[in-house]
Amino acid sequence: MGGVCSRKRSQLVDEDDSFQSPTRFSKTSSLKWLLLTLPRSSSDVSRKGLGKGPGRCPSLMELCVAKVCKDISKYSSFAVLPSDLSQQVFNQLVDSNCLKEASLETFRDCALHDICLGEFPGVKDAWMEVVASQRQSLLSVDISCSEVTDSGLNLLRDCSNMQSLVCNYCDQISEHGLGVLSGFSNLTSLSFKRSDGVTAEGMRVFANLVNLVNLDLERCLKIHGGLVHLKGLRKLESINMRYCNNITDSDIKYLSDLTNLKELQLSSCRITDLGVSYLRGLSKLIRLNLESCPVTAACLVDISGLASLMLLNLNRCGIYDEGCESFKDLKKLKVLNLGFNYITDACLVHLKELINLEFLNLDSCKVGDAGLLHLKGLVLLKSLELSDTEVGSNGLRHLSGLRTLQRIDLSFTLVTDTGMKKISALSSLKSVNLDSRLITDVGLAALTGLTGLTHLDLFGARITDNGASCFRYFKNLESLEACGGSITDVGVKNIKELKALTLLNLSQNANLTDKTLELISGLTALVSLNVSNSRVSNAGLRHLNALQNLRSLTLDSCRVTANEIRKLQATALPNLISFRPE
């Protein structure tokens, strides 16, 4: 951005995920202060890392923020600064993990709009005094994973313009602390993931949150009986109660009048077909997640009446073929998850009319080649999950018309090398999972025309150095797993030019040596590397010095010690946060 970053109070940045922590708010201000106070010479302000793209000239705001952050210890208060500049400095200190309790004091009474301290270390009640000093200007707060108690939360009582509050994993907040919420009638988004403090009794205050749009109570295990307090919140559009395994059918009936609901997450709740019947009037519902709920296919009668439904997750529900004929009425579905159920090819007959489907998950279902015949007309499919099914090479011929298919998972199926010829014409494929001992060099060779592949999983495939020569055709690969045990340093030579790789897993190939690390030393985009169960030694670690983006390194069962990896981390790999052995 070329100047002050501004956004109206009522405007949120769309992060395309209803249950992510709410986004930041900000308000327009002037560049006048910047123009009057920015030094004429900015040579003392480091430009490294500012802006986007090589050689980009940083904005006035970026230069100013960088200078202030660098000299933060020289300031005692930012109360006289434009609030949006104070906000930028605060955000930068948080993002760079440089905010300390002493420097936090400089932001007292600064009219900040956003205090996003989720997962930030050391946040406690004392910090909340400064947070609360923003008073009516404060629009959003995130104190997830903090040590804040009821007392600290209560300090926010005068911040009545708050629109977003996130207190995920705050173990010190009890149901008594929730009382402060009664004064936050402007709240549109509230999140209390995994909180024992959110109880049926504590939820009484929710009844005052008449403007609430998003509510996240994932893993709150004491809310059975509390949903009655939601029945008047007619603006609610999304509710997340995943893993609230005390929620039953009697709770769901209080959601039946929330006709503006667009998203409802109920996975692992104790909801049966009766509970689903209470949802039949939610005509605006777009996304419904019932994964691991004890429902049957009979609930599809009520679900089929949800005219706007586009995403349905029924993974692990124990569904059989009987009753699946109602699938045919879900004409708008784009995403359907049926993994880990007992359905067979007989169920797939009822899917052939779902011509808008883009994602279909049949993982571990009892479907085979004959069932794929009913999928051939789903020409908009982008992702097809067939892992652990009875699908073989012959059935893949029914997929030849799926020209928009970008991802297919054939791991642990009956598909052999001959099947690879049948998917080689699907030129839109970007991700292929062939984790199966039935796939060999021959099958891989048949796929070399799929030059657009970005993800290739050959974890258990029997690929040798001969087959590894095919890797050089996949110049766009971002992740590669080849762990069949037969690749040596000779085969790795075909990987060294795959400059886009961010994940590389060559574990279980016992004959790989330090030469492998030398060969891949030019893959500077790597974020994750696994060469476990090989002959790699401490001496070879020096070849990893250039992999500055590496965050995960796994060298289990190698001739490598944790101490040597720590030395590498300290001297050459500053971004390395996970390594084995440890």
Is-same-fold flag (174-295; 334-429)? yes
Q: How far is CA 301 from CA 272, 281, 337, in A?
A: 13, 13, 17
User: Which CATH number is correct for 334-429, 3.40.50.720, 3.20.20.240, 3.10.129.10, 3.80.10.10?
Assistant: 3.80.10.10
Q: Kind of pairing, strands 114-116 and 455-458? A: unpaired
Q: Does domain 174-295 have CATH number 3.30.110.40?
A: no
For residue 233, the one-letter residue type is L
d(CA 152, CA 197): 14
- Distance from chain centroid for Cα 193: 16
The domain ranges of the chain are: 1-40+57-173, 174-295, 334-429, 430-582
SS3 content of the chain, % helix, strand, coil (to 5): 30, 15, 55
Per-residue pLDDT of the chain (582 residues; tens, 9 = 90+): 333 333 333 333 333 444 444 455 544 333 333 433 433 333 333 333 444 555 678 888 888 888 889 999 999 999 998 999 999 999 999 999 999 999 999 999 999 999 999 999 999 999 999 999 999 999 999 999 999 999 999 999 999 999 999 999 999 999 999 999 999 999 999 999 999 999 999 999 999 999 999 999 999 999 999 999 999 999 999 999 999 999 999 999 999 999 999 999 999 999 999 999 999 999 999 999 999 999 999 999 999 999 999 999 999 999 999 999 999 999 999 999 999 999 999 999 999 999 999 999 999 999 999 999 999 999 999 999 999 999 999 999 999 999 999 999 999 999 999 999 999 999 999 999 999 999 999 999 999 999 999 999 999 999 999 999 999 999 999 999 999 999 999 999 999 999 999 999 999 999 999 999 999 999 999 999 999 999 999 999 999 999 999 999 999 999 999 999 999 999 999 999 999 998
Q: Is 142 exposed, middle or buried (0-12, 13-18, 19+ CB in 10 A)?
A: buried
Q: Which CATH superfamily is domain 430-582 in?
A: Ribonuclease Inhibitor (3.80.10.10)
The DSSP secondary structure of 409-463, one letter per residue, reads E-TTSB--HHHHHHHTT-TT--EEE--STT-BHHHHHTTTT-TT--EEEETTSB-
Cis peptide before 54 (omega within 30 of 0): no
In this structure, how many other beta carbons lie within 10 angstroms of the beta carbon of residue 214?
21
In this structure, how many other beta carbons lie within 10 angstroms of the beta carbon of residue 518?
16
Q: Kind of pairing, strands 552-554 and 407-409? A: unpaired
Q: Which residues pair with 405 in a beta bridge?
A: none
Task: Looking at 38-100, list the stretches that DSSP marks H as alpha helix, in order from N- to C-terminal side.
Answer: 60-70, 83-95
Of the candidates 228, 233, 326, 336, the one whose C-alpha atom is nearest the C-alpha of residue 289 is 336
CA dihedral 195, 201, 207, 209 (to 10 degrees): -30
Cβ(330)–Cβ(353) below 8 Å:
no
- The dihedral sign for the CA sequence 177, 179, 181, 184: negative
223: helix, strand or coil:
coil
Cβ(520)–Cβ(495) below 8 Å:
yes
List all residues 6 or more positions away from 128 whose beta carbon is below 8 Å from its beta carbon: 143, 148, 152, 153, 155, 156
